[in-house]
Amino acid sequence: MVRIYMLLLLVMLMWGLNVSAIKVLVDAINPMLLTGFRVMTAGVAVLVICFVMGIFRLPHKNEWLIISYIAIFNVILHHSFVAIGLDLTSGINGSLILGMNPLITAMMAYLILRQRMTWLRGFGFVLGFIGVVVTTMMGTGELSGVSLGDFIVFLGVAVQGFSFVLISKLNPAFDPRLATGYMLVIGAAVIFLTSQVLGAGLQEITNLIDWQLGLAFLFSAVLATAFGHMTYNYAIKKVGPAETAIFLNLNTLFAVLGSSIFLNETITLNHMVGFVLILCGVFLGTGTLEYIMLKRRERTRF
């Protein structure tokens, strides 16, 4: 369990820094075209990794259906909504809305999977969300009113939360890491074709020849998206969607740090306060405190 939590922490670091990488990339390439090409690269990378790990196989007919179904929500709708929404709203608003993912995922897990939600874990989710609010809104003081972009990003969070619940119900015989590869490839193909229908210029991809943009793209596609998604989806299968989603609160923290380092934005005292609240939220929301209390009671019993 500790190993999975450490991997999740690494994934959150990559996903946080990925915000800065994508900010740089969308300035040079159409967002939908970039998303299709980036996700396709990630999907191929995941399938290659699965082949090297010896877990690659073709899905059965019924598995193709569930993988395609999840790809609609986890890849096509999520990445499209987020890419379009972030183009229409501020980065501050986008970060705050994306930070709501743990709460939405927990709510869906509770409603659909009927998972038990203790008051302590619920408090952890709330605390983590407050940390996201403090880190984004109070940290910069630039939060604006709700816009169309805000609503579209929220839709992206909602469909991803639903997809996490679907992933937890995958056939146990099919490795979620391999399913991630197929989902990314299927979703990327649809997003790429959509970008062409909308008139995105394919020649913009040549901008990645620039070494800085190229490195940012490889980090975003191979590390953040390929390694990140296959690891995260694997963790969902092992510890559940609600417990895994609490780590998404760290996304905002690392995104702020990445913005400071790579985009020259200022970290304030409120960012540090948010950092402490987020860590406390993770500690409570993952059930770590409950586990420690349970072990302590067992020791005193004997």
pLDDT attached to residue 44: 95
Q: For the chain, which residues score pLDDT lower than 50?
A: 144-145
Neighbours of 56 (CB within 10 A): 16
**Predicted confidence (pLDDT) per residue in 5-45, tens digit:** 889 899 999 988 887 888 788 888 888 999 999 999 999 99
Rg of the chain over CA atoms, in angstroms?
19
pLDDT attached to residue 164: 79
pLDDT attached to residue 146: 53
pLDDT attached to residue 184: 93
Which residues, other chains included, contact 196 with Cβ-Cβ below 8 Å and sequence gap of 6+?
Answer: 33, 202
**Predicted confidence (pLDDT) per residue in 45-80, tens digit:** 999 999 999 999 998 888 888 889 889 998 999 988
pLDDT attached to residue 147: 67
Q: How many CA atoms lie within 13 A of 7 on its CB side?
A: 18
Domain boundaries in the chain? 2-118+142-243
